[in-house]
Amino acid sequence: MPPWAPSIADAALSWGTVPAWLRYLIAFLIPLVATLILTPMAGRLAGRFDVMDRPGGHKTHLGATPYLGGVAVAGGLLLVGWLSAGASGQLLVVVGGALVLGFVGLLDDVQPVSPWIRLAYQIVAAIALWLVGVRAGVFDATWIDLPITVLWVVAVTNAFNFIDNMDGIAAGVAIASALGIAAIAGYNGDYLVTSLALATAGAALGFLRYNIPPARIFLGDAGSMLLGFMIAALILKLDLPVGPSAPRVLSTVLLAGVPLFDLSVVVIARLRDRRPIWHGSTDHTSHRMAAGGRSRRRVLAYSISAQLVCSVLAYAMYRQSQTVVIGVGVAVGFAWLVLLGIFLRMPGLTVAVDPSLADMEAVTSS
């Protein structure tokens, strides 16, 4: 190896000596700038190799749109992920798992992959996290933590994959979630998790520049699975308080609140209507809001704002007393059920064919 090429460990050590404020700024800006540069390139590459998402079926966009946005996001994350993971074997597994699932998603973008194969890779990635100590830890019992860890990773990864159904939502919500994770990790003094969370937010923000309605490129499964796994794993990696489980559970759920809420709406609706859970449809929360006459940009703003509120609440509840957290948890649970009932009564949407409706191509479905 050339003398000027540092090892991963040396680079990570140097990274740890950088002042905190500068480290966090760099961690955010490098993926942001890299993704801003790489996303148009990924779009051209998708066009050249015909990796396109074409209208049809349950899809609501009007024209063929490039995939491969996830490749740009992965590229933006790579350097900061390399520096952070070099100082932590656990974070190496986090970054590695995200890249593996991103690659599986990329294969699915190019040629459909069975949902069972995707699920199998997600389970393996979750088990890998558990083996290196990135686990739920809610009940402090190994035999319970493993299935909870697997369930959490699979649920959040697929929840982000599910909300990637309308321009900007998956990337925007990922930013809000990652910032909440960064705030809690930063409060704990965990600079590696903070840096990686900020890198995730920066990469997603760089991509969002091209994904705001009307989108010029889509994340694809490569991007949504990568971001979902990163968020799921980083939440598990947070040094949440030991002792009573209520603060840990509430903060954990809130940090991925919007994707998990959408997942609950979709799963219940499809089970109620006896439809396969994995088959795409226009029955997500975003579709239901759009069917009520809200523009795509407004739906995007609502989704990001809701996750920001959840992230702020997660931070606020992070070290509160058991009594306070239980009270807030009951209120959050009640609000969740009320909103669930409201959204389940709202209709889905169908696609309009008038190209003049570039920002709102939806009408209420029967």
Distance between CA atoms of residues 145 and 141, nearest Å? 6
Amino acid at 275: R
Average pLDDT over every residue of 135-160: 85
**pLDDT at position 142:** 72
pLDDT at residue 366 in the model: 29
pLDDT at 2: 46
Q: pLDDT tens digits for 217-267?
A: 888 899 999 999 999 999 998 855 454 566 678 888 999 999 999 999 999
Average pLDDT of the chain to the nearest whole number: 83
Q: What is the pLDDT of residue 100?
A: 94
**Tokens 């840096």 belong to residue:** 195
**Percentage, residues of the chain above pLDDT 70:** 81
**CA–CA distance from 50 to each of 42, 43, 108, 111 (Å)?**
12, 10, 14, 11
What secondary structure letter does DSSP report for 330? H
Give the pTM.
Answer: 0.86
> Can the peptide bond before residue 6 be classed as cis, meaning omega within 30 degrees of 0?
no
